[in-house]
């Protein structure tokens, strides 16, 4: 589609700089590709370098080449639970394209596949889940809010989970970690009054990603499909356009919201 759009028809996010944490796999990859198709310049982040990260960056630069000689996408390694690495991520994002950041999307997260009840859960797993899912989102939102203020506006979008409202047994720490992010983002939206920065969450339902398949049994998978009004799992591509909309000018009046992208099963 992008190849058929002429210069007289600017893309919705033309040359706006976006960071996508967890941007090289699953939902993050789909979001990265979609934002690039809308004209954004992408900083793809993950906790480690991998062939997958390189492939996503290469795919974006091939499919959606920049009009200048600079790349459309770059990769920056960072652990979002570490404040020093988060600051470095944002520094590198700004220097990579010599332009202020406009869009921040936090997808990075972990899910304990043990499905233990709260009574039987591991404190180590609880701490690790909150370190990445909640502390990481906090550090990134804090940094994004200050960077976007300097740029004169922008979009903060955190990917959370429908498990916050589904309240399924065995997901206590994970659901709680995402519920904390949803509360934080709602408050952040109010605190950013007057900055032209919006802050929202996108909360997917059961999406066909490695994160889901590693943490769900075949029986649970069948239940998820059966509960869906569409009779299927969601796909990462079902989530990405919602993030694209929230990142656009059309969504300026959508602020402090939790958009549940579930296909109707929650």
239 in a structural domain = yes
Residue 246 has pLDDT above 70, yes or no: yes
Residue 157 tokens read as 């979008």
Query: How many domains does the chain contain in total?
Result: 1
pTM of the model: 0.93
249 in a structural domain = yes
Q: Encode 3-17: b = buried (16+ Cβ within 10 Å), e = exposed.
A: eeeeeeeebbbebbb
44: phi then psi, degrees, rounded to nearest 5: -90, 125
Q: Structural domain of residue 62, as residue ranges?
A: 13-261
227 in a structural domain = yes
5 in a structural domain = no
Active-site residues, by number, are 174
18 in a structural domain = yes
CATH number for the domain that contains residue 226: 3.40.50.720
Tens-place pLDDT, residues 41-72: 999 999 988 899 999 999 999 999 887 778 99
DSSP assignment string, 17-37: EEEEETTTSHHHHHHHHHHHH
CB distance 216 to 233 below 8 Å: no
pLDDT at 10: 62
By percentage, how much of the chain surpasses pLDDT 70?
A: 96
Which residues pair with residue 202 across a beta bridge? 159, 259
pLDDT at 220: 83
Tens-place pLDDT, residues 204-233: 999 999 888 886 788 888 888 999 999 999
Give the span between the Cα atoms of 157 and 159, in whole angstroms.
Answer: 7
Give the span between the Cα atoms of 162 and 160, in whole angstroms.
Answer: 7
pLDDT band at residue 9 under the 50/70/90 scheme? low
């Amino acid at each position: 589609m992008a190849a058929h759009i002429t210069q007289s028809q600017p893309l919705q996010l033309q040359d706006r700089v976006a960071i996508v944490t967890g941007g090289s796999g699953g939902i993050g990859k789909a979001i990265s590709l979609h934002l690039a198709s809308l004209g954004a310049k992408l900083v793809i982040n993950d906790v480690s370098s991998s062939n997958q990260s390189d492939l996503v960056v290469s795919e974006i630069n091939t499919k959606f080449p920049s009009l200048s000689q600079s790349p459309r996408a770059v990769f920056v390694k960072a652990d979002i639970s570490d404040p020093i690495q988060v600051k470095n991520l944002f520094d590198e994002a700004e220097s990579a394209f010599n332009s202020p950041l406009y869009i921040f999307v936090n997808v990075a997260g972990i899910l304990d596949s043990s499905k233990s009840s709260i009574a039987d859960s591991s404190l180590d797993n609880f701490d690790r889940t909150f370190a990445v899912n909640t502390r990481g989102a906090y550090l990134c939102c804090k940094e994004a809010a200050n960077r976007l203020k300097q740029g004169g506006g922008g979009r903060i979008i955190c990917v959370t989970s429908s498990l916050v409202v589904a309240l399924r047994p065995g997901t206590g720490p994970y659901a709680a970690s995402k519920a904390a992010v949803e509360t934080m983002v709602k408050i952040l939206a109010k605190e950013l009054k007057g900055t032209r920065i919006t802050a929202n969450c996108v909360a997917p339902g059961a999406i066909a990603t490695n994160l889901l398949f590693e943490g769900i049994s075949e029986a649970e998978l069948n239940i998820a499909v059966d509960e869906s009004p569409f009779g299927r799992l969601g796909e990462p591509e079902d989530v990405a356009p919602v993030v694209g909309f929230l990142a656009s000018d059309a969504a300026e009046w959508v602020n402090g919201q939790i958009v549940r992208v579930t296909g109707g099963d929650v």
